[in-house]
Structure 1
Amino acid sequence: MGDCGAPGDVNSNVLVSRSTGDAQLDKAVWQWLSWDKNQKTKEQIESLLQAGKHRELRERLCCRLSFGTAGLRSAMGAGFCYINDLTVIQSTQGIYKYLERNFSDFKQRGFVVGYDTRGQVTSNCSSKKLAKLTAAVLLAKDVLVYFFSTYVPTPFVPYAVQQLGAVAGVMITASHNRKEDNGYKVYWENGAQITSPHDKEIIKCIEECVEPWSGSWNENLVDTSPLRQDPLQKICDSYMEDLTKICYHRELNVQSSLKFVHTSFHGVGHDYVQLAFRAFGFQPPIPVPEQKDPDPDFSTVKCPNPEEGESVLELSLRLAEKEGARVVVATDPDADRLAVAEQQENGCWKVFTGNELAALFGWWMFSCWKENCSQDADVGNVYMLATTVSSKILRAIALKEGFHFEETLPGFKWIGSRVKNLLDKGKEVLFAFEESIGFMCGTSVLDKDGVSAAVVIAEMATYLQGQGLTLAQKLVDIYEIYGYHISKTSYFLCHEPATIKRIFERLRNFEGPESYPRCCGAFSILHVRDVTTGYDSSQLNHKAGRAAAAVLQVLPVSKSSQMITFTFQNGCVATLRTSGTEPKIKYYAEMCALPGHSDRSVLEEELQKLIEALIGDFLEPAKNGLTWRSA
């Protein structure tokens, strides 16, 4: 946990009389009580100590946060593995140390800090306060800090890093997680989330800087330091101007009679989505009044994740029916994801999956490119990307249309870094996505962006209305042309890491030591790819590693999470993986049919049978105590 500070703190006397009997834990408790200046979280540790709750103290104090698919993310509260004032200070000190080593002009180029609207009264913890402490650490070290004066969408931070030429940036957010959580998302100078080796090296630097420095607790520096600048107006204006680069039918938008409803899920999205619609020539969407303003309790939804579908979109859908709006767009609390629902002719609502929206976005972005590109434009220079657990529909479009498609590991940090690499090589990237409703339209922001996606889908719906089509009808057209891609994604909750490990180790030793399954129920398995261990049965040497290919890339090893993909004889691809941000085991399964094989009901029936076998044979929910998402 790092070296103890100097003895003599008043709490050290309390600790001596209440030793836990564990030297490592005693040291960690002493450090916390010595360093934490937040009275609420300090009292939480003192209470646990006085109550003799040593196991909980050990869980809170004897491990540290690590970078997952979306930075540091955990519950708010006391402890070195929670998000709180002290761990944010420690993380920022580590980042300062790492950036100082890597950039000689770090202090002059500066650092961007943004935040959402989360908060927890019991820990006196809020995103804005954590952002102020992040800024304080850097301002105390004479670093120029671009600190937003109010809450912003997550995409504004990576956008600002690039626009302002900063060396890095942090967004304080837990995105769509439950209200108890918060997070610390780090962006590199290229505008993409950090990946290895930066994440591992930053963790090392954090461990070298665990004791707060003089000035690190001075959150008032944000209001008094001449080194603090507010980038809000400049970045907002520039972002909205850049947004018009992917507006292709402004004249239709201005004249459109189509109405839209928008919900921001009690988060940051309302003001920015309104501005984005205006930038495209639309009348602003109708907001859901109960969900328009920030509310850290997310009081009108059981969970602030629009990916959960119709159950959490209830207020939006009822308002849309009342207002005669056919399309609902929903941004998650930090406005980097987008859900879309459309009312069908029978009055029912279709909530599109992330994969279905990607089919629409992919078709749209390529069609607009083709319509507007110069005569000498080379389609072979055009790229689209997706994470490996997402639909292969972009691959099918790419094969027919002649552009390139690539896959990355799960998480937009991998997409952002790869897109920047392609741009640096002179390539043109039109679109990228992950199935969990994360979309990147254009390359102004190298991360998923719900604000831009919302207005692009509005323009698409407006254009299609002029063609006498709905979004749902166009989706069927796309599948008829490029082949049906029927996918299902869900998850089980599992709060026991040992259980998760046991499930995946069983799959790796299914028919004996180091022997993966050859079938799942009645379905024969053609290939197995285990990204965690580096095994890939489709490769000659059975090893995974990045290989150049026009359409698909072999993925690198990623030991930080569990992920196994099965390719079946019938054309289905199914993946089991752990979430990088929540206690979930996710499954993804997709049937990919060739163009002309359009009996959707047969494909759906086959997929459902395979998923039932996958869950029953491989996950064994009853035996392993797993809770299904709807329970």
Structure 2
Amino acid sequence: MTDAVLNEKIEEWLKWDKNPKTKAEIENLVNEQNYGELKSRLLERMEFGTAGLRSRMGAGYTMMNDLTIIQTGQGFLEYLKEQFGLDLHKYGIIIGYDARHNSNRFAKLTANIFLRENVPVYLFRQITPTPFVPYGILKYKCCAGIMVTASHNPKEDNGYKVYFNNGAQIIPPHDQGIAGSILKNLEPKIESWNIDCVDSHPLRKDPYDEVYQSYFEDLKNLSHRRENNSKTSLKITYTAMHGVGHQFSIESFKSFNLNPFIPVVEQVQPDPEFPTVKFPNPEEGKSSLNLAIKTANENDSTLIVANDPDADRLAIAEKLPNGEWKIFNGNEIATLLGWWIWFNYKQENPNTNEYKDVYMLYSTVSSHILKSIAQKEGFNCEDTLTGFKWMGNRAHELLNQNKKVIFCFEEAIGFMCGSRVLDKDGISAEAVCSELAVFLKEVENKSLIEKLDWIYDTYGYHVSNNSYYLCYEQHNIVSMFEKIRHHDPQNEDYTYPEYCGRFKIDKIRDLTAGLVVDFKDDGKRSTPNFPTSKSSQMITFYFENGCVLTIRTSGTEPKIKWYSEIKETDKSKSREEIKNELDELVQSMIAEFYKPEVHNLKARST
């Protein structure tokens, strides 16, 4: 890039940006002659994808700020006009926001753009959990929904999550359609900056009270033991992780007639600084739950439930007899929830002929435990591409075919109980899980971990090993994956490895290259059943020993993740032997495929 191009972008930013703080950021970088930083901020743009937008807040086209929010809103408006015509002016859109820095402002900037085009906007007057937006779309028949949140990301980040009129997150081709429309509408209109009229605009509607009341009334339908839930000595500790979840979790417990939980006082109030947790992500495990464990120990509580900051995810932990805490991973929580939801459905619907219309869904990188349960019980189970956008859209398709979708999950502690919200929902999942815990304690005299063992004994032991490395350099990510594909440097065609350590690979599915290679069939090549995308990296290995291992890049964080699972097939092996075999395979994968030292990968923080 020439200096002339950079200068043009600097002038453009200083002309367009009306926010004094971010405008001064660029001016300071110019005065400091920090051209490297200016290039990284101004010569590229955040990519709008199926996850919408998520990035650090600051000045520049690669960051979340007033100008990039306005550009996104202007482009999204024009795209929705093309898609819905007059219906957009009839049904409008719904917008929610979390408690992060600038979330309220970004929501109002977006609302202002639509209101000035006479599009009705359901804008919540205060912070809400993310599930309220997809719920609200279906309630009001909105054309789209936007949630301003960066979910569990660090405090420096924010995001812009987009839903379509079916109540599910957008998938192709809408992501590229919106992205293209944004690029055609980059110049901010003068009126796009003035948000003073948002609150008083006649087309601005506040859905908070209606959605709140309706959501929690509907939530009661997921409870199957309301009359007995308060008859327990079980004490439950809850943390909102400085996010929006506290008040809504109180209400979810009331909806199920559960005894009030014990709050982690230090984390009750929404706080965009997240002062007590370095990473406000309960998926990180014990490091994020230290205060919850302390609170639980002090109050003789044996169960912890936790939401992430926008309350769409659920983490749980249980105290063991030896005083240690078992923190359940997403696959284990899903195993418990899936069994519980099926148990209740089966009790209330004894006609087995109806089971052919019942579905559970899971993402392809998650545990296949639901499929094992389905095969034995007679209902349907499907896997989808990674991400709740795929499960939400597939659930919508099935519902339109008069099927029943009773549970969906992804291993990243995301759970959809029922089909009233076509996205992950931590508020409903925590109530369902707490009711299960009460039932187990009072009726079966079991702990959650004991029930998990029972489920494995009944449907087959599934053990997983999931984690990630951090990588901040795109060229190293590409290099790592290309070395896997071009295992033989003398062969220009994709030549994949047939072994990882001592473990033989039977088949490989590469959703980036759009290729399946079956080594059991003389290396026969075919096209995957799933949609493919060259913009993200994802390869799945199917091993002779039954292990399925996927490595992929995250769409919202600088992570290269792996997901692996072995299902018990050899009864002569103990669970410990099966787990050790999987751990050995993963270590071989890290050494031979990831090669952290070669690709400058940073290990997950402990």
TM-score (structure 1 length as normaliser): 0.93
- Contact map agreement 1:69 1:581 (CA 8 A) in 2: no
Distance 2:46 2:595 in 1: 30
Matches within 5 A, 1:10-159: 22-68=3-49, 70-103=51-84, 104-119=86-101, 126-159=102-135
- Indicate the larger mover: 455-464 or 243-252: 243-252
Deviations along 1:419-447, one digit per CA (max 9) or x if unpaired, are: 10111011111111110100001000000
Return the offset for 1:21.
5.2
- Contact map agreement 1:276 1:452 (CA 8 A) in 2: yes
Return the offset for 1:481.
0.9
> Is residue 622 from structure 1 mapped to residue 597 from structure 2 by the alignment?
yes
Return the offset for 1:312.
1.2
Return the offset for 1:599.
1.4
Distance 1:596 1:132 in 2: 59
2:414 is matched with which residue: 428, 431, 438?
Answer: 438
Residue of structure 1 in register with 2:506 after alignment: 526
- Contact map agreement 1:329 1:340 (CA 8 A) in 2: yes
Residue of structure 2 in register with 1:468 after alignment: 445
Return the offset for 1:623.
1.8
What is the identity, as a one-letter code, of the residue corresponding to 1:621?
A: P
Matches within 5 A, 1:418-429: 418-429=394-405
- Contact map agreement 1:275 1:284 (CA 8 A) in 2: no
- Indicate the larger mover: 371-380 or 165-174: 371-380
- Indicate the larger mover: 499-508 or 254-263: 254-263
Residue of structure 2 in register with 1:281 after alignment: 257
Matches within 5 A, 1:303-452: 303-373=279-349, 375=351, 377-452=353-428
Residue of structure 2 in register with 1:3 after alignment: none
SS of residue paired to 2:259? coil
- Contact map agreement 1:329 1:338 (CA 8 A) in 2: yes
SS of residue paired to 2:367? coil
Residue of structure 1 in register with 2:517 after alignment: 537
Distance 2:50 2:183 in 1: 20
Return the offset for 1:596.
5.1
CA pair 595-288 structure 1, distance change in 2 beyond 3 A = farther
> Is residue 484 from structure 1 mapped to residue 461 from structure 2 by the alignment?
yes
Return the offset for 1:559.
2.2
Deviations along 1:183-232, one digit per CA (max 9) or x if unpaired, are: 00000000000111111001111011111123211122222211111000
Return the offset for 1:591.
1.0
- Contact map agreement 1:482 1:594 (CA 8 A) in 2: no
Distance 2:457 2:580 in 1: 18
Return the offset for 1:542.
2.5
Residue of structure 2 in register with 1:10 after alignment: none
Distance 2:18 2:570 in 1: 63
- Indicate the larger mover: 536-545 or 606-615: 536-545
Distance 2:198 2:338 in 1: 42
CA pair 555-21 structure 1, distance change in 2 beyond 3 A = closer
SS of residue paired to 1:330? strand
Distance 2:360 2:140 in 1: 27
Residue of structure 2 in register with 1:272 after alignment: 248
CA pair 146-595 structure 1, distance change in 2 beyond 3 A = farther
SS of residue paired to 1:200? helix
What is the identity, as a one-letter code, of the residue corresponding to 2:575?
A: R
Return the offset for 1:605.
0.8
SS of residue paired to 2:198? helix
- Indicate the larger mover: 504-513 or 164-173: 504-513
Deviations along 1:45-91, one digit per CA (max 9) or x if unpaired, are: 11111222222111111122223452211100011111111111110
Return the offset for 1:386.
0.8
SS of residue paired to 2:111? helix
Matches within 5 A, 1:122-201: 126-201=102-177
CA pair 290-597 structure 1, distance change in 2 beyond 3 A = farther
> Is residue 611 from structure 1 mapped to residue 591 from structure 2 by the alignment?
no
2:216 is matched with which residue: 226, 234, 240?
Answer: 240
Residue of structure 2 in register with 1:17 after alignment: none
Return the offset for 1:283.
2.1
Distance 1:58 1:127 in 2: 26
SS of residue paired to 1:251? coil
- Contact map agreement 2:50 2:172 (CA 8 A) in 1: no
Distance 2:2 2:450 in 1: 67
SS of residue paired to 2:468? strand
CA pair 220-284 structure 1, distance change in 2 beyond 3 A = farther
SS of residue paired to 1:324? coil
Deviations along 1:546-581, one digit per CA (max 9) or x if unpaired, are: xxxxxxxx3221222101010111111111111110
- Contact map agreement 2:103 2:148 (CA 8 A) in 1: yes
What is the identity, as a one-letter code, of the residue corresponding to 1:616?
A: A
SS of residue paired to 1:542? strand
Deviations along 1:241-264, one digit per CA (max 9) or x if unpaired, are: 111111111112132221111100
Gaps of 5+ in 2: none
What is the identity, as a one-letter code, of the residue corresponding to 1:82?
A: M
Matches within 5 A, 1:190-229: 190-229=166-205
Deviations along 1:107-166, one digit per CA (max 9) or x if unpaired, are: 1211101000111xxxxxx10111110111111111111000000000100100110111
Return the offset for 1:28.
1.6
What is the identity, as a one-letter code, of the residue corresponding to 2:209?
A: Q
Deviations along 1:573-620, one digit per CA (max 9) or x if unpaired, are: 111111110011111111111395661101011011101100001001
CA pair 426-538 structure 1, distance change in 2 beyond 3 A = farther
- Contact map agreement 2:49 2:175 (CA 8 A) in 1: no
Distance 1:112 1:595 in 2: 52
Return the offset for 1:324.
1.4
SS of residue paired to 2:430? helix
Return the offset for 1:24.
2.4
TM-score (structure 2 length as normaliser): 0.97
What is the identity, as a one-letter code, of the residue corresponding to 1:262?
A: Y
Distance 1:573 1:320 in 2: 37
SS of residue paired to 1:506? helix
Return the offset for 1:367.
0.8
Residue of structure 2 in register with 1:292 after alignment: 268
Aligned length: 598
SS of residue paired to 2:526? coil
Return the offset for 1:376.
6.5
Matches within 5 A, 1:529-608: 529-538=509-518, 542-545=525-528, 554-594=529-569, 599-608=574-583
Distance 1:370 1:516 in 2: 45
CA pair 600-449 structure 1, distance change in 2 beyond 3 A = same
- Indicate the larger mover: 177-186 or 396-405: 396-405
Return the offset for 1:402.
1.4
- Contact map agreement 2:485 2:495 (CA 8 A) in 1: yes
Residue of structure 2 in register with 1:496 after alignment: 473
Return the offset for 1:538.
4.1
Distance 1:32 1:217 in 2: 15
Gaps of 5+ in 1: 1-19, 120-125, 546-553
